[in-house]
Amino acid sequence: MHLHLWRIRPPALKHAVFSSCPRCFSTDSHVNVLGQYYPKDSATNITASIIDKLDRKLHQKPAHPLGSLRSLIESHYPSFTHLSNFTPLVTPAKNFDDLSFPADHPGRSASDSYYINKDLMLRTHTSAHEVETFAKGERKWLLTADVYRRDEIDATHYPVFHQVEGASIFPTNPTGIRELEEDNARLAEYLKNSNIVIEDIPHITGSNPRQPTHDPRQAELVAQNLKLSLNSLMLTLFGGRAGVGGGEPLRVRWIEAYFPFTSPSYEVEVFFHVDSRPCKRT
């Protein structure tokens, strides 16, 4: 079987930073997180202001912009299972070890991540739920969640943000490969006739290789499907909307990337205009 995996970080929407935080009461030895007390240790660095945001679930509120964006993305993939109710508390094993993060990866550090204690932390990405989702037998799914990183607050960074992760498993039998080829042809034809300019890169390269266990032809088809599928999503999200006016095409650019748990890996940039200034979002 082959799968493609992708993740979207919606535009940051700021949370209020002030709160009396009655749910955040802690003692010298324990911290109260989502109504439950957990023992503190030398790893504990979660703050009251972050704890106060854990149960807001903005992406589940239909009237909130994040809820609207989630619904729009889910409607683009109606055949996928839509998941959005995972607890933000995970083990470091789920967040890092199960995804092949090296022991010295900077994301593990207390300066980058929030820890309740050495055995429990706030997820730093939706990928913390990948293994358990696949283990439940899901073959095509979208997962939307709030994620937490110890970022410095500025115009483009905030310690709380949201991601949408998607994955699809493809059978490698002749029927599965034929269906994948047909889906690629359908998506390519749709994009060819749409107002979009795509700056692509080779799917597989020496610097962005397939995994040794993957069949070269199948890996090429899956990578192509990943890009085509996300190009069509970007068109749904941004094409014809504010900032892409006067018939100007939507511009999309693919670049090579690195993640410990996927190979090949990519990032996609979408260019649009705000107040006549070119902007991009990865």
How far apart (Å, rounded) are the C-alpha atoms in residues 247 and 3?
A: 35
At 274 the pLDDT is 58
Element (H, E) at 154: none
- pLDDT at position 282, please? 37
Task: Name the CATH topology of 2-168.
Answer: BirA Bifunctional Protein; domain 2 (3.30.930)
Give the DSSP letter string of 197-256. EEE---SS-SSSPPPTTS-HHHHHHHHHHHHHHHHHHHHHHHTTSTTS-TTPPEEEEEEE
- pLDDT reading at 3 higher than 70: no
Asked if residue 264 lies in contact with residue 223, where contact means CB atoms within 8 angstroms, the answer is yes
pLDDT per position as a tens digit, 94-143: 999 999 999 999 999 999 999 999 999 999 999 999 999 999 999 999 99
Q: By mean pLDDT, which of 3-12, 36-45, 235-244 is the weakest?
A: 3-12
Q: How confident is the model at residue 52 (pLDDT cuts 50, 70, 90)?
A: very high
Q: What is the DSSP letter of 168?
A: E
Q: What pLDDT score does 280 carry? A: 41
Place of tokens 């059978």: 171
Query: Considering the chain, what is the average pLDDT of its residues?
Result: 89
pLDDT digits (tens, 9 = 90+) for 226-273: 999 999 999 999 987 645 556 789 999 999 999 888 999 999 999 876
- Burial class (CB within 10 angstroms; exposed 0-12, middle 13-18, buried 19+) of 156: exposed
Residue 204 has pLDDT above 80, yes or no: yes
**pLDDT for the residue 243:** 53
Of 64, 32, 86, 52, the C-alpha closest to 160 is: 52
Structure confidence by residue, pLDDT tens digits, 19-39? 345 455 678 899 999 999 999
Per residue in 59-83, is it b (16+ CB within 10 Å) or e — as a string?
A: beeeeeebbebbeebbebbeebebb
pLDDT of residue 15: 42
Domain ranges across the chain: 2-168, 171-281
Asked if pLDDT for residue 93 goes beyond 60, the answer is: yes
- Cβ count within 10 A of residue 117: 17
> Half-sphere exposure (CA, 13 Å, Cβ side) for 200?
17
Q: What is the pLDDT of residue 155?
A: 85
pTM metric for this prediction: 0.85
Q: Which of these, 62, 111, 63, 57, lies nearest to 84 by C-alpha position?
A: 57
Using 50, 70 and 90 to split pLDDT, how confident is the model at 278? very low
CA distance 115 to 50: 11
